[in-house]
């Protein structure tokens, strides 16, 4: 091997995730890891032919349907994957024996390898299978969701038989896809299009009435084809192709699939659109080339290169890939769920995870995607206003969990994880109010980084002003103490609920109000008519603005005199537990102490004060950052608390000049799903952790800061990193940051 070949081979390995055996116990985790997608939909890495107990799923942005308890959920779309391979061996006289269905839980498997190529989003599985009755097949399955053609899904199966006889391929579209037993789809129609030979299936969600048509076409080398049939099985139309099997002679079958929903086009046009799309596929190689070119553009913008740490390099790319396949590129009516589009967890609902953890990646590298996500919030101002009004406030109070309508969709009661007969009250939808400021923060950050004044005038200002209206009316005046307060809330640390004056909430509310005043001033100069329009629509008269200033001045910000900030009023009175003394442990502090028990302690689930110091870094002195870092770090349940924590903790460790400590937190975030650190990756990718991993690399180790004066870096690389290279876009200008690190001997 030449040096160049060796280099290429090594570089390839920095772009792939592989497994060399199929672990039935870990199959849900593997399905999540091997999810493919294109920002329109994602498909979990279940096997084409199926496997007992699998959780096969395709989730399409915006395709929600009502569900008990959880209000609404992304409906698992009709399954486009099924492709089963059957082999029949010819006997001595040429008569065919019975067909044996290939399955990984029967016969013998050798040379198994499944690989996700992150560079172009292609999932490949190779293996040799010996049937229980003896025939042998070498199989390769490849699949991808075309990034350049969002409605197109492509699957190819190559088989080299070591037998004489016949191969049969059965390819279906399965309308019985369900969400843990709940079937969201009603059958509408199906059929075979004689002109193209493509089959289609039309279904409709039961409550939301979304129509979906999926179509498929099968392609084989005509010379090898023995016969072709269409099985009109209701709700599972199937195309069947039979091919002669000759030892050593490869057979290739391609399944082209298109998906359209009535969110894309009128219901009456979907069938023609899907059939047209599968007929127009120019061939496997051309489709691969188009997809590859689209991915090249994505990676050109977003890749982060690390030298000196292959694990970090691959993990960073994996997390970026997961963000990129979930990111809506052409639709601003949808958001990214906490578990992206890769699993059933959190039912596709979006949280502050988007604005604070995922959005910065897009704001800095793909502003068009960030804008789509922020537009989603703008479109749902009506829902946020209704929520504020229902609670007796003015302005926009965004829901803690949001789906297709912008209404609050946090379940009120859920079964207890250990004892499903018991119900647990979920309070986040009622009192985790900081999300309104988080959204305003993200809108402002987008503006600061992109300089997109037109968007700020058209949409961002309204988001910031109307959330400010909410904060001003939600603030309670405590006459005895002469201060405004936010009582009965939940801050980022959810181990403590029903607290008063959570510092993160109070300070971000104050920031939201201050920023709103600044934005209104700016708007009066930039677009006076729009300023007048919003002032009248939101009733921003002098009295209201004076009240905002009063709240800003008199909001209570709990703190101790020596720079130590109090997470919420009374936090320091809770029992101070030495978390380190509980090691080694395998459970979260909440599991060890119970829900009420942990709330009586100072143990926190995720950074809360440190989260605030991260977001408003420029407003706190270095000594304050250090003092609070030292206090809160040992009290945080880093390993078993929230997956949102480690990336932020890494950034703050860099802020206090501790890169190697930061690395421990960073790699915990980076591995969250790859190594199933919390044991729940089977429910889907931890989207906030994935987005946070990018932030930890760029804002933590890279030390990138954008201020009104421009951008600069304050790098803080881990000892063993030789180089960190990333790109972003500042006010329309592409920037490449290339940081080298002289290793200490």
Give the footprint of ligand IFM on this chain (CB under 6 A).
338, 346, 351-353, 492, 494, 642, 644, 688
Q: Which is nearer to ligand IFM, 6 or 69 (CB)?
A: 69
Q: 102-128 b/e with 16+ CB inside 10 Å = b?
A: bbbeebeeeebebbbbbbbbbbbbebe
Q: Which is nearer to ligand IFM, 452 or 683 (CB)?
A: 683
Q: State residue 560 phi and psi, 5-degree precision.
A: -100, 160
| Residue position matching structure tokens 């790109």 | 727
State whether residue 364 is helix, strand or coil: helix
Q: 498-522 b/e with 16+ CB inside 10 Å = b?
A: ebbbbbbbbbbbbbbbebbbebbeb
Q: Give the Cα separation of 547 and 233 in Å (integer).
A: 67
Q: Is the dihedral of CA 162, 166, 171, 174 positive or negative?
A: negative
Q: Which is nearer to ligand IFM, 358 or 540 (CB)?
A: 358
Q: Which is nearer to ligand IFM, 356 or 366 (CB)?
A: 356
Q: Give the Cα separation of 68 and 624 in Å (integer).
A: 47
In the complex, what is the shortest distance from the CB of residue 642 to ligand IFM, in angstroms, rounded to a whole number?
A: 5
- C-beta atoms surrounding 158 within 10 Å: 15
Q: State residue 91 phi and psi, 5-degree precision.
A: -80, -175
Q: Which is nearer to ligand IFM, 159 or 338 (CB)?
A: 338
Ordered DSSP codes for 212-255: EEEEEEEEE-GGGEEEEEEE--TT--EEEEEEEE-TT--EEEEE
In the complex, what is the shortest distance from the CB of residue 356 to ligand IFM, in angstroms, rounded to a whole number?
A: 9
Q: Which is nearer to ligand IFM, 523 or 647 (CB)?
A: 647
Residue of 188, 387, 156 whose CA lies nearest to 257: 156
In the complex, what is the shortest distance from the CB of residue 180 to ligand IFM, in angstroms, rounded to a whole number?
A: 19
Q: Which is nearer to ligand IFM, 346 or 471 (CB)?
A: 346
Ordered DSSP codes for 662-728: HHHHHHHHHTTTTTTTTS-GGG---HHHHHHHHHIIIIIIS-EEEETTEEEE-----TT--EEEEEE
State whether residue 192 is helix, strand or coil: strand
In the complex, what is the shortest distance from the CB of residue 706 to ligand IFM, in angstroms, rounded to a whole number?
A: 25
Q: Give the Cα separation of 633 and 559 in Å (integer).
A: 17
Q: Which is nearer to ligand IFM, 171 or 696 (CB)?
A: 696
State whether residue 198 is helix, strand or coil: strand
Question: Please, what is the end-to-end C-alpha distance for the chain in angstroms?
Answer: 31
Annotation marks residue 296 as catalytic: no
HSE-up (13 A, CA, CB side) for residue 156: 17
Angle, vertex CA 172, rays to CA 167 and CA 176, nearest 5: 140
Distant-in-sequence, close-in-space partners of 130: CB < 8 Å, separation ≥ 6:
107, 108, 110, 136
Ordered DSSP codes for 525-554: HH-HHHHHHHHHHTT--HHHHHHHHHHHHH
Task: State the pairing for strand pair 238-245/225-231.
Answer: antiparallel
Of 48, 407, 494, 661, the catalytic one is 494
In the complex, what is the shortest distance from the CB of residue 558 to ligand IFM, in angstroms, rounded to a whole number?
A: 21
Q: Which is nearer to ligand IFM, 208 or 643 (CB)?
A: 643
HSE-up (13 A, CA, CB side) for residue 361: 30
In the complex, what is the shortest distance from the CB of residue 401 to ligand IFM, in angstroms, rounded to a whole number?
A: 8
Q: Which is nearer to ligand IFM, 117 or 353 (CB)?
A: 353
Q: Which is nearer to ligand IFM, 303 or 353 (CB)?
A: 353
Q: 264-295 b/e with 16+ CB inside 10 Å = b?
A: beebeebbebbbbbbbebeebeebbebbbebb
Q: What is the CA radius of gyration of the chain?
A: 27
In the complex, what is the shortest distance from the CB of residue 492 to ligand IFM, in angstroms, rounded to a whole number?
A: 6
Q: Is the dihedral of CA 192, 196, 201, 202 positive or negative?
A: negative
Q: Which two tokens stand for residue 449?
A: 């980084």
Active-site residue numbers? 494
């Amino acid at each position: 091997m030449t040096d160049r070949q060796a280099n290429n081979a090594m570089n390839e390995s920095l772009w792939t995730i592989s497994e060399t055996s199929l672990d039935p116990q870990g199959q849900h985790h593997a399905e999540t890891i091997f999810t493919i997608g294109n920002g329109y939909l994602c498909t979990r890495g279940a096997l084409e032919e199926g496997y007992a107990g699998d959780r096969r799923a395709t989730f399409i942005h915006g395709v929600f349907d009502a569900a008990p308890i959880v209000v609404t959920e992304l409906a698992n779309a009709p399954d486009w994957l099924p492709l089963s391979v059957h082999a029949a061996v010819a006997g001595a006289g040429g008569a065919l024996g019975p067909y044996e269905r290939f399955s990984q839980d029967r016969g013998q498997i050798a040379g198994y390898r499944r690989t996700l190529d992150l560079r172009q989003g292609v999932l490949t599985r190779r293996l040799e299978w010996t049937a229980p009755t003896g025939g042998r097949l070498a199989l390769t399955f490849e699949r991808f969701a075309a990034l350049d053609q969002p409605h197109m899904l492509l699957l190819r199966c190559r088989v080299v038989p070591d037998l004489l006889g016949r191969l049969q391929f059965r390819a279906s579209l399965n309308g019985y896809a369900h969400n843990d037993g709940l079937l969201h789809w009603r059958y509408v129609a199906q059929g075979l299009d004689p002109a193209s030979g493509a089959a289609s299936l039309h279904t409709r969600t039961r409550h939301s009435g979304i129509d979906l048509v999926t179509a498929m076409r099968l392609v084989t080398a005509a010379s090898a084809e023995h016969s072709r049939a269409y099985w009109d099985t209701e709700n599972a139309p199937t195309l069947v192709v039979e091919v002669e099997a000759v030892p050593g002679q490869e057979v290739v079958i391609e399944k082209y699939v298109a998906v359209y929903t009535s969110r894309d086009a009128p219901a009456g046009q979907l069938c023609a659109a899907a059939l047209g799309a599968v007929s127009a596929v120019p061939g496997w190689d051309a489709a691969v080339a188009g997809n590859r070119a689209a991915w090249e553009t994505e990676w050109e913008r977003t890749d982060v290169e690390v030298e000196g740490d292959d694990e970090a390099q691959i993990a960073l790319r994996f997390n970026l890939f997961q963000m990129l396949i979930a990111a809506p590129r052409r639709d601003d009516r949808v958001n990214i769920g906490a578990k992206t589009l890769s699993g059933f967890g959190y039912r596709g609902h979006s949280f502050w995870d988007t604005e604070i953890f995922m959005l910065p990646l897009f704001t800095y590298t793909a502003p068009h995607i960030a804008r789509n996500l922020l537009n989603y919030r703008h479109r749902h101002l009506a829902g946020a206003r209704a929520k504020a009004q229902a609670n007796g406030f003015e302005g926009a109070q965004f829901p803690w969990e949001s789906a297709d309508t912008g209404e609050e969709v946090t379940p009120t009661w859920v079964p207890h994880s250990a004892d499903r007969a018991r119900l647990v009250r979920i309070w986040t939808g009622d009192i985790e109010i900081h999300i309104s400021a988080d959204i305003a923060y993200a809108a402002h950050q987008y503006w600061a980084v992109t300089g997109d004044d037109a968007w700020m005038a058209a949409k961002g200002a309204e988001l910031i002003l109307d959330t400010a209206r909410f904060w001003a009316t939600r603030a309670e005046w405590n006459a005895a103490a002469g201060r405004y307060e936010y009582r009965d809330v939940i801050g980022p640390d959810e181990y403590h609920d029903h607290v008063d004056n959570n510092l993160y909430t109070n300070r971000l509310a104050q920031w939201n109000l201050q920023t709103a005043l600044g934005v209104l001033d700016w708007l009066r100069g930039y677009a006076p008519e729009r300023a007048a329009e919003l002032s009248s629509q939101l009733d921003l008269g002098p009295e209201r603005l004076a009240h905002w200033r009063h709240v800003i001045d008199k909001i209570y910000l709990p703190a101790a005199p020596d720079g130590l900030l109090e997470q919420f009023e009374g936090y320091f009175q809770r029992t101070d537990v030495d978390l380190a003394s509980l090691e080694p442990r395998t459970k979260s502090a909440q599991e060890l102490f119970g829900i009420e028990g942990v709330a009586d302690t100072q143990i926190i689930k995720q950074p809360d004060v440190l989260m605030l110091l991260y977001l408003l870094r420029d407003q706190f002195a270095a000594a304050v950052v250090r003092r609070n870092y030292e206090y809160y770090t040992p009290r945080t349940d880093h390993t078993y608390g929230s997956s949102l924590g480690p990336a932020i903790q890494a950034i703050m460790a860099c802020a206090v000049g501790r890169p190697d400590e930061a690395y421990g937190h960073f790699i915990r975030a980076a591995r969250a799903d790859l190594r199933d650190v919390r044991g729940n990756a089977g429910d889907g990718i931890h989207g906030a952790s994935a987005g946070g991993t990018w932030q930890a690399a760029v804002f933590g180790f890279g030390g990138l800061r954008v201020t009104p004066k421009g951008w600069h870096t304050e790098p803080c690389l881990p000892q063993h990193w030789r180089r960190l290279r990333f790109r972003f876009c500042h006010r329309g200008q592409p920037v490449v940051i290339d940081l080298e690190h002289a290793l200490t001997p």
